[in-house]
Chains A and B, each alone.
Chain A
Amino acid sequence: MIPQQESEFDIGYLKPYYGKLFPYADMFKWMSYGHDGKHPGCDQSYFGRREFSFTLKGDFYLRFQSFNSALELENSIKEKCPLKIDIGPVYTVDPAKRHAYAQGDNKVFTPVERELIFDIDMTDYDDVRYCCKGADVCLDCWPLMTIAIKVIDASLRDDFGFKHILWVYSGRRGVHCWVCDGKARRLTNEQRASIADYFRVYKGNENSHKKVSLMGAALHPFLATSYTNVLKDYFEKILLTNQNLLATEERYEKILSMIPDESIASELRGRWQDNNRRSSSAKEDINVVRWEQCKQLLQSGKHKPQGLRRCVEEIVFFFTYPRLDMEVSKHMNHLLKAPFCVHPKTGRVCVPIDPNRCDEFDPTTVPTLFQLLEELNNEGLRADVNGEWSGTSLGSAVTLFRSSFLEPLLKACKEEIERSYSLKLQQSKNSIGW
């Protein structure tokens, strides 16, 4: 476990960060979704109907902030220096005017668009990682996040057909996912809940013994694919050894307790109890050896009772499968931290993660506030056409944001705006005015 560093954060340093590094133009372009006024089909009110919220020093919380231009957004952030910026939904009307509209039953102030979002937090995995607990993360448990990104990203694209997906490091112990396709932004709460439930495997609470239950003669294709493509390998090749899942009695008992057949569990226990006392001169890692033995007993033999058939997969799923915060995804009005914020506890910037290379992502080398400002000082004041971030470690983060996410998204948005505009023109030509 890597010891927590001296806090790499000082609120005083937020001012220069917001002053020189925060990518306002990119955030504005993203949140505008193509409604930049350049096309007659653009909705000029769109950006202004988006809710932002700021957390200020002293835990002051400002909700329902809205802006009509990139400049307004920039000025407000620079002026207020928020510890955290959250992004909410796009409403029917400008949130600043909500009191004038929220009357009676008619619900005129209500969310109309909101990205489909996911929040995966390492603390939800505390019962399957031994290296860290709570707010800490290290390279031994980070693969759990890598797994989550791979599984969810693949399903969002292959199963649901989404294309414009942004993964962001949350700054400390998790990742966020923003699905930005038009189709996703217009999903109802019920549809969002259905997607979250589609992804849910882990059920039950502290009181139930086994919390992953994979019934049925076969796994649903999504689960089967996830297992074959991601979970199995990560479990066997990385987590087994990183976490020493079978190395000690306490740890292997946890796995043995998931085997419904007591005779198999006893046999394994018998073998392993002896093994513990021998010197570890074996070439192969003890966890790998024991897992092989476990699998052999569970999977061999033609006639396995129902409860045993899926046991191997259940164990693997329990230790690896993504654990999502359901509530975050289910409601359109749920706020989520904006990318490129700085985490006050770690000083790290919430940078994008490339899902195609997420196994290379290292949370311990994410740029920190101190580091960036030092880099700025060293580089001197260089007026760069890209903005000052390009000379710093933040440069690659912003580039990634643009090339893999923002540019394709804006292209698709423009096409959508043009398409629906021509459609409207066509329709008005066809209809006969009374």
Chain B
Amino acid sequence: MACLHDHSCEDHDCSADWSLYKHIDISKVTALNEAVPGSVKSVFKAWEQRLSSSEEHLESNEGDPELLVFIPFTSDVKIKSISIVGGAGGTSPSKMRAFINRDGIDFSDAQSMQAIQEWDLAENLQGVLEYQTRYSKFQSVASITLHFPENFGGDTTQIQYIGLKGEATQLRRDVVATIVYELMPNPSDHKAQAEGGGGLSHVE
């Protein structure tokens, strides 16, 4: 079962769907407990290359199967489903928990916080499984953090590919840039309303 299409699915049809990786801000992707710093960037690639194990993959440290991947996007996206290709020999992750729009999560935060959604994963070495999201909760996602607490018994956890399906909006979820606090209202700052006769009394 490659996809839930009723025709024989060619790769190019699916790959268009899984194009959300283009909207990932790759330079700001980070992972905690990765054995090789920076290797997390290699798991975001095109659908066709999801099985190519020639490049490096994301691996956790020896004896510790937990992984935490932080994925910021260049614009707000809506995520419909997620696909994970793990490693062989029990190194595939068995659970996935997602957190939306929070940065700076570390392991103790991840363990204590309530995830926005959790999935039980199966070993998906062919990359044909996808895990649907509760779409209403994934409507304007600026960053997603994936926490993989366990695996299928291997010493380390390996992830070869993380695919995201959805659509990108062009909106940005920016932080408020400037905030002006008023201790006392100054009518000259509110000229528009005053002219419109919005009920403000004129203060000399």
Q: Tell me if chain B binds chain A.
A: no
Q: B residues near A, CB below 8 A?
A: none
